Amino acid sequence: MNIENPAAFSFIMQDEIYLLNKDKIEYGKPRATDTAITTPELSFNYLGGNKKNFLVVVHYPEFEFIAESHLTALENILKRLEFGLDDIAIVNKAKYDDVTLAGLTIFFKPAKLLLLGSNALPQGSGALSSNEPKQINNFNVLFTFSFDEMMDNQEYKKAFWEQMKKL
């Protein structure tokens, strides 16, 4: 007999149902299907306030976040675009080698994403062309040179600045 509505049981089974002691013990035990699989919550140590959902991913194995001279240069660029350190989040990918683009976007919910250097590319970022802004999952992405590459190269600085204005 196949009953689709559980309320119909009261009309069919009018007697009470009792469990035997051995059934009560089994009934109270958790089953494998009862346990939920929990994934660890993502957490990142980052610099900035992330108030405007502007994520900057860098790669500096020797620093917690970014080299001081590079941070100064980045802040000067951001000021020209009317952003401050409180508006962005800087994540050092060197501290999170296995980070994925999906993990970053879930945690930070970026509207803009700046990837500074090929070592800063998170897993799953796909094929990004250098200095060509791209739209991914409703946010703008710019993959560009690292500050190490840009500091002594005027062409790279100019290309970076032109694309930053579009981001």
In tens, the pLDDT along 109-156 reads 999 999 999 999 998 887 788 888 888 888 899 999 999 998 889 999
Residue 36 has a pLDDT of 59
The answer to the question of residue 9 being in a domain is: no
The answer to the question of residue 149 being in a domain is: yes
For 25-53, how does the pLDDT look when each residue is reduced to its tens digit (9 = 90+)?
A: 666 666 665 555 666 677 889 999 999 99
Residue 71 exposure: Cα atoms within 13 Å on the Cβ side: 15
pTM of the predicted model as reported, rounded to 2 decimal places: 0.74
Beta strands in the chain (DSSP E): 54-58, 88-92, 112-116, 134-136, 139-144
The answer to the question of residue 109 being in a domain is: yes
d(CA 72, CA 90): 13
- CATH number, domain with residue 144: 3.40.470.10
The answer to the question of residue 96 being in a domain is: yes
Closest among 70, 74, 55 to 125, alpha carbons compared? 55
The answer to the question of residue 1 being in a domain is: no
Amino acid at 119: N
Residue 87 has a pLDDT of 95
d(CA 86, CA 98): 26
The answer to the question of residue 113 being in a domain is: yes
The answer to the question of residue 27 being in a domain is: no
The answer to the question of residue 60 being in a domain is: yes
Residue 124 has a pLDDT of 85
Domain count, the chain: 1
Structural domain harbouring 77: 54-166
For 41-87, how does the pLDDT look when each residue is reduced to its tens digit (9 = 90+)?
A: 778 899 999 999 999 999 999 999 999 999 999 999 999 999 999 99
d(CA 7, CA 142): 58
94 pLDDT tier (thresholds 50, 70, 90): very high
